[in-house]
Chain A
Amino acid sequence: MDFGFKLSPSSAINLDNVNPDKFEELHRAEPDVYKCMACGSCTSTCPAGRYSGMSIRKVILALQRGKEKEAVAMMKNCMLCGKCSMVCPRGINTRHLILSICRIYEEERK
């Protein structure tokens, strides 16, 4: 039926519905993922970011907010150049983190 307008799905985050299991698994693989303080250094230095919206900061955040598909879609643009791990002040091994996300969130990549 055509009402003449469309409703977009709510973008609100309901923390009650976030299933933490995969993020816990990611945390076991790369314990430092919890340490991200959202400083944005990684994003500002990412060569892919400017053109594709790739941001490791946003990926880490989206995974904790139950937006796995969004996170994984963003990661398609990563070139694994490693620049982000060079600038991260919390010393997060982002390369290992990215590879771990690819492995653990295999389903969401389809």
Chain B
Amino acid sequence: MKENIVIIGGGIAGMETAAQLLDLGYKPIIIEKSDHLGGHVADWNRLFPDMSPAADVVRSLASRVSGANIFLNTEISFINKLKDSYNIMLSNGISIVTRIIVMATGFALFDASKKEEYGYGVYDQVMTNKDLEHWFNTGEDPRINDSAMNAVGFVHCVGSRDEKARNTQCSKVCCITAVKQAIELKQKFPDAMIYCFYMDLRMFGKKYEDFYIGAQRDYGIRFIRGRVSEVSENIDGRVIVKAEDTLSGKPVKATLDLLVLMSGMVCSQDSTKVANMARLPIDTDGFLKSRDNVMDIIESPKEGVFYAGACTGPKTVPETLAEARAAALKVHLFIKGLE
């Protein structure tokens, strides 16, 4: 049982992997670069499809990993390949020799300011999906003015399905996130008109289509099929969006009090940096490359290096947790094989 297990990334993928390994009797090490565990889920408010509090997920995982060795505010300085193991040097000066690494480095949110035509960081009333979750959590954001929320727009596929943004992938979670956030805003501002500008609605998961029907029937969210091409600001600081209503084949225009950009999921720089140190390959979609995308998604091509969660591509919370459990089992079997 003295085999070291290094989990890089303390998001839900890293935490769930650690929790399972603890249950199996191991004492894994979690390396997290930020000052808290939970990764992106720690920034969300309520989770689709059942609107369960994100904080509960993080809290319960945190209590299950309390027995692990956790290094917060810690990064990987370098990784040396030894004969049949790795020497990992941490930014706090500690070095660990291990035969097992679990990459749980997650994703990064696409930087919406790169899509200049949407005016993020330029126009006052433009925010991202992440900013909106922050407002749900704290109630603080100068862009949301309780007394003037008459019309709100959501822009799907920001930095996804976009060759020019160098990300041709569908980020998968943002359609359902837009529908979820649209409903939540409508609950707070029942008189507001809420539009979703989409290209396709990708409601792939359990109960997502019901969520969509509910958004239409019970909340009157208006879905407009057409990609927003251009955003401008008028003299009172409201934003004007232009798109084509492709269902009627006519250009459409609307003046809005708030525009929410659905930033997509891309591979994080922190992920690729560590992957380079450990000489792990990158797949054509920019995420870490698995041994096989059908049979071995959680195994890297390197012996003893495993993946869990969104470091290999966009995933939901339940998908991430399932992979983390599978990765823990792989680690366990790998150690058994060494004995």
Contacts and interface: CB of A to CB of B under 8 A. Distances in A.
B252 A12 contact: yes
Interface in B216-246: 216-217, 220, 222, 225, 245
Q: Is the interface of B mostly helix, strand, loop or mixed?
A: strand
Contacts of B254: 14-16
Interface in A44-91: 57-58, 61-62, 64-65, 67, 90
A35 B223 CA distance: 10
Given A13-B250, A15-B195, A15-B254, A64 B225 contact: no
A89 to B, nearest CB: 11
B193 interface: yes
A31 B220 CA distance: 10
B253 interface: yes
Contacts of A31: 217
Nearest to A90: B213
A11 B193 CA distance: 22
Interface size class of B (residues with CB under 8 A): 10 to 19
B247 A34 contact: no
A27 interface: yes
A10 B39 CA distance: 49
Given A34-B220, A65-B245, A90-B213, A12 B255 contact: no
Contacts of A65: 245, 248, 250, 252
Nearest to B153: A15
Nearest to A58: B248
B251 interface: yes
A32 B19 CA distance: 46
Interface string A1-31: 0000000000111111000100000010001
B333 to A, nearest CB: 45
Contact of B193 (A20, A32, A61, A90): A20
A35 B216 contact: yes
A19 to B, nearest CB: 12
A58 to B, nearest CB: 7
Nearest to B201: A37
A34 B218 CA distance: 8
Given A20-B193, A65-B245, A12 B250 contact: yes
A50 to B, nearest CB: 19
A38 B245 CA distance: 12
Interface in B85-118: none
Q: Which 10 A-B pairs have the closest CB atoms?
A: A15-B254, A13-B252, A12-B251, A34-B216, A16-B255, A34-B217, A35-B217, A14-B253, A11-B250, A35-B216
Interface of A: 11-16, 20, 27, 31-32, 34-38, 57-58, 61-62, 64-65, 67, 90
19 contacts: A11-B251, A12-B252, A12-B253, A13-B245, A13-B251, A14-B254, A15-B195, A15-B252, A16-B151, A16-B253, A16-B255, A32-B217, A34-B216, A34-B217, A35-B217, A36-B216, A61-B247, A62-B248, A65-B250
